[in-house]
């Protein structure tokens, strides 16, 4: 497995994208914001929103001082807008419990609203250069192919997977942090889910999946992402009306956003759990 580390680190040195949250000047807050935004969302869509977010709220205290609805409004069309509410709640917790400074320990990060194992490890590694096992979808796919010889990993992280990732981590914390982001970048740019660019991979000669003839995935069916006509699309349309309105709106404004009344009303009720508030017979962001 040690044959993987040096080639991937050298590849990253030559091919890493210049992303604002990776720059030496990036704050831990910038890294945390990026990790929330990048969940199930491509980098190209995140970049302009991340820049606008940091311009408006350069520190957690700046966001915490605003209503949570402003976070939802600024989230725009990134999708999965409850991430905006959780990021606002995390900012409030950072101010309340950590003096306005993004904590640097895995356990303290894990205690923030909306922060799971991956995000806590990623912020500790990328913002504070710590030695952490960082397992996102891209990392898991690279290690699954290169080490285990499978096209796609299991649906959830296994003990064996975590053991492989831990064994590969360089002992030096800053190098380990670079390794974690390097594997992630390789999965994003070369070892992609569809049409992987194997001829351009720095470890193609030692990749177990390549050596086995690139066997096709034979596990449980992988979930297919759909959007058109779904409740998610309907909720997005309703939220778009509220984001664009300077204040509250009447129900008929929301009715005009989606033709199917039963689905529209069901989705509106689901949004009333924190993303939308009812103000009398009108509706608004919180």
Q: Could you give the residue numbers annotated as active site?
A: 35
Residue 54: closest CA among 268, 46, 249, 133: 46
Residue 130 in contact with residue 124, Cβ under 8 Å? Answer: yes
Sign of the C-alpha dihedral, residues 267, 246, 48, 128?
Answer: negative
| Residue 64 tokens, joined | 């915490």
Q: Which residues contact 191 (CB under 8 A, 6 or more apart)?
A: 138, 141, 142, 145, 146, 197, 201
Q: How far apart are CA 191 and CA 185, in angstroms?
A: 9
Residue 193: closest CA among 149, 224, 157, 152: 152
Q: Which residues contact 156 (CB under 8 A, 6 or more apart)?
A: none
Q: How far apart are CA 181 and CA 169, in angstroms?
A: 11
Cβ count near 278 (within 10 Å): 12
Residue 178 in contact with residue 9, Cβ under 8 Å? Answer: yes
Residue 269: closest CA among 226, 238, 228, 241: 238
| Residue 256 tokens, joined | 């005009």
Angle, to 10 degrees, between the axis of helix 2-15 and the axis of helix 173-189? Answer: 70
């Amino acid at each position: 497995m040690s044959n993987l580390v040096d080639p991937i680190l050298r590849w990253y040195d030559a091919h890493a994208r210049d992303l604002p949250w990776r720059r030496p000047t990036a704050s831990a807050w910038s890294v945390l914001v990026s990790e929330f935004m990048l969940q199930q969302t491509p980098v190209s869509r995140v970049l302009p929103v991340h820049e606008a977010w940091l311009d408006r709220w350069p520190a957690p205290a700046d966001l915490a001082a605003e209503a949570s609805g402003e976070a939802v409004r600024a989230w725009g069309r990134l999708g999965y807008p409850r991430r905006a509410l959780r990021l606002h709640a995390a900012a409030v917790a950072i101010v309340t419990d950590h003096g306005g400074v993004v904590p640097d320990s895995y356990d303290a990060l894990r205690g923030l609203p909306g922060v799971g194992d991956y995000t806590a490890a990623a912020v500790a590694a990328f913002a504070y250069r710590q030695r952490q096992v960082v397992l996102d979808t891209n990392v898991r796919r690279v290690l699954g192919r290169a080490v285990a010889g499978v096209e796609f990993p299991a649906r959830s992280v296994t003990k064996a997977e975590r053991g492989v990732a831990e064994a590969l981590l360089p002992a030096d914390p800053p190098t380990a942090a670079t390794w974690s982001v390097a594997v992630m970048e390789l999965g994003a740019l070369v070892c992609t889910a569809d049409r992987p660019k194997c001829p351009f991979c720095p470890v193609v000669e030692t990749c177990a999946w390549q050596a086995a003839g690139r066997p096709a995935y034979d596990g449980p069916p992988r979930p297919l992402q759909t959007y058109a006509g779904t409740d998610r699309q309907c909720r997005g349309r309703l939220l778009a009306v509220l984001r664009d309105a300077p204040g509250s709106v009447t129900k008929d404004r929301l009715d005009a956003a989606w033709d199917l009344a039963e689905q529209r009303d069901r989705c509106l009720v689901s949004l009333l759990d924190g993303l939308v508030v009812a103000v009398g017979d009108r509706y608004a962001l919180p």
